[in-house]
């Protein structure tokens, strides 16, 4: 285990009500794919015979959720971000389809246990697991024409059910997780044989941001005043730094972040399409009606950020790329400088690199470019490290995860300095992830979890040493509060 040598100036720099904990997602951890009436999602279909594994069992959190809550207590977490499986509570997904009471009971029991343990639930409505029935009816979130309104109404019914059922106890909501990444997964995995990147990514992106805005409008209109919660969206944003002090590298870096973040954030924050995105879409970006723009602009109570790493932009414009290869633009990004020195410690297959200084720069850039006139807090809803080929190590080596410990120490200190020295309003932080879970089509090889899961032995959980380091870091960063209302889980 590493020595925790933190800057004394960051002592107690975060308020006593600062939220800190871990994240997860339903399909990645729950398992129980046919248990208690759950309907199938698109991932159950696509990964059915996948050689790298699927989510049939995952981490078996549908049955082992009490263990997860105990771990969160042990780790000193005061919040937990998880997502609802749409097809677990409405198996066929649609507004006229039956509700599954056992699915609702699962999440209700989890929420109650978290609250009894002094842990605040932070819920994501959609973390990529579209009900398969809706995909088959109208293409899921790629619905067009009159079927687009079918999607909107089915989504609103789902959101209303979740708010109405859980909103008296849940005060923190995320509509969508990483619209950009979900679009990529549609292009490369979920619809790889039937997805026109030049057109369909923009249709999908517009539908995601509009369903987000309609869920926010619904919550504000019917639930927020009496439930007194907050709602937003979370975006995946990597930092891109110019490798050279040249106009070309500076432009490449700024426009690269535009493509990574500006696609959605310019719309929700500023109420308009990002100029870089408009140029990049080459006329394929559908517009919204005036009424839709009214819903979209300002449709957030906080700015949610998933961040993992940083790359350099050289300023070189790549030529001859396929549509898929230019998903994040035409600019060249590198992780080694001209002398061959890596930008930071390399994670699993190069994701992520450990570059904490980029995290601080990103937080400042978010405030500068996308917060607009509104003053809302930032929540870091995912941040974490997968050790290179961690799955090939012994259990003792896995537990002694010094690469992950170093990563969290660097990133948490960078965040603390952004708060203390730069005045950035960060209200919460969630490490990705609580468990070594399924990483979608990449299977179980990338290990982001702070908890080892032995899937050959009943999904036995073993805490890694990074949990001790993270707990100690937050003990240093967060000002103490009087009293402790946490109770025993069971």
Catalytic residues: 382
Cα angle vertex 451, ends 446, 454, to 5°?
Answer: 75
Q: Which two tokens stand for residue 179?
A: 């619209």
The Cα 323–Cα 473 span in angstroms is 43
DSSP of 328-371, one letter per residue?
T-SEEEESB-TT--BSSEEBGGG--EE-HHHHHHHHHHHHHHT-
CA distance 472 to 490: 26
Contact 359, 307 (CB under 8 A): yes
For 421-487, where are the alpha helices, taking DSSP H only? Answer: 466-477
221 exposure class (CB count in 10 Å sphere: 0-12, 13-18, 19+): exposed
State the Cα–Cα distance between residues 126 and 179, nearest whole angstrom. Answer: 10
Cα–Cα distance between 185 and 172 in angstroms, integer? Answer: 26
Cβ neighbours around 150 below 10 Å, total = 16
* Buried/exposed code over 296-305 (b: 16+ C-beta within 10 A; e: otherwise): bbbbbbbbbb
Beta strands 345-346 and 353-354: pairing type?
antiparallel
Q: Of 205, 96, 209, 113, nearest to 161 (Cα)? A: 96
**The tokens of 426 are what?**
């960060």
| Residue 345 and residue 406 in contact, taking contact as beta carbons nearer than 8 Å | yes
Which 8-state DSSP code applies to residue 391? G
- Cα(28)–Cα(129) distance, rounded to whole angstroms? 10
- Bridging pattern class, strands 451-454 and 460-463: antiparallel
Q: Between the CA of residue 101 and those of 105, 121, 165, what are the distances in Å?
A: 6, 20, 11
Q: Which of 332, 204, 242, 461 has the alpha carbon at shortest distance from 449?
A: 461
| Whole-number Å distance between alpha carbons of 467 and 472 | 9
Percent of the chain as helix, strand, coil, to the nearest 5: 45, 15, 40
404 close to 385: Cβ distance less than 8 angstroms: yes
Contact 317, 331 (CB under 8 A): yes
């Amino acid at each position: 285990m590493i020595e925790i040598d933190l800057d004394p100036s960051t002592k107690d720099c975060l308020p006593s009500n600062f939220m800190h904990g871990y994240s997860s997602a339903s399909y990645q951890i729950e398992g129980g794919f046919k248990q208690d009436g759950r309907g199938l999602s698109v991932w159950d279909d696509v990964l059915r015979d996948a050689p790298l594994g699927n989510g049939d069992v995952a981490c078996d959190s549908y049955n082992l959720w009490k263990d997860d809550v105990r771990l969160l207590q042990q780790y000193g977490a005061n919040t937990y971000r998880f997502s609802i499986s749409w097809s677990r509570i409405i198996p066929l997904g649609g507004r006229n389809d039956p509700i599954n009471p056992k699915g609702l009971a699962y999440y209700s029991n989890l929420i109650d246990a978290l609250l009894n343990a002094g842990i605040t639930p932070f819920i994501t409505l959609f973390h990529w697991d579209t009900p398969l029935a809706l995909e088959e009816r109208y293409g899921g979130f790629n619905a067009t024409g009159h079927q687009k309104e079918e999607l909107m109404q089915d989504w609103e019914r789902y959101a209303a059910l979740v708010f109405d059922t859980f909103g008296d106890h849940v005060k923190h909501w995320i509509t969508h997780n990483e619209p950009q990444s979900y679009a990529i997964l549609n292009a490369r995995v979920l619809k790889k044989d039937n997805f026109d990147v030049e057109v369909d990514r923009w249709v999908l992106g517009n539908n995601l941001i509009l369903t987000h805005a309609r869920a926010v409008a619904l919550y504000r209109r019917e639930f927020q005043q009496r439930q007194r919660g907050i709602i937003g969206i979370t975006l995946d944003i990597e930092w891109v730094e110019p490798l050279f002090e040249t106009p070309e590298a500076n432009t490449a870096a700024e426009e690269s972040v535009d493509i990574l973040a500006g696609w959605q954030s310019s719309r929700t924050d500023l109420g308009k399409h990002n100029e870089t995105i408009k140029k990049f879409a080459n006329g394929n970006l559908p517009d919204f009606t005036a009424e839709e723009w009214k819903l979209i602009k300002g449709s957030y109570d906080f700015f949610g950020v998933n961040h993992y790493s940083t790359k350099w932009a050289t300023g070189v414009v790549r030529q001859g790329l396929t549509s898929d290869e230019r998903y994040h633009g035409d600019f060249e990004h590198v992780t080694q400088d001209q002398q061959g020195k890596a930008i930071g410690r390399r994670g699993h297959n190069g994701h992520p690199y450990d570059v904490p200084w980029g995290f601080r720069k990103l937080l400042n850039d978010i405030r500068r470019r996308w917060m607009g006139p509104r003053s809302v807090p930032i929540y870091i809803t995912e941040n974490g490290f997968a050790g290179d080929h961690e799955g090939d190590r012994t259990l003792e080596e896995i537990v002694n995860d010094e690469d992950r410990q170093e990563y969290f120490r660097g990133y948490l200190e960078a965040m603390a300095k952004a708060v203390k020295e730069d005045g950035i309003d960060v209200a919460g932080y969630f490490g990705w992830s609580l468990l070594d879970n399924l990483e979608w089509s990449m299977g179980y090889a990338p290990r982001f979890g702070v908890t080892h899961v032995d899937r050959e032995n009943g999904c036995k959980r073993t805490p890694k040493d990074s949990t001790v380091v993270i707990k100690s870091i937050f003990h240093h960063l967060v000002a103490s509060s009087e009293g402790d209302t946490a109770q025993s889980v069971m």
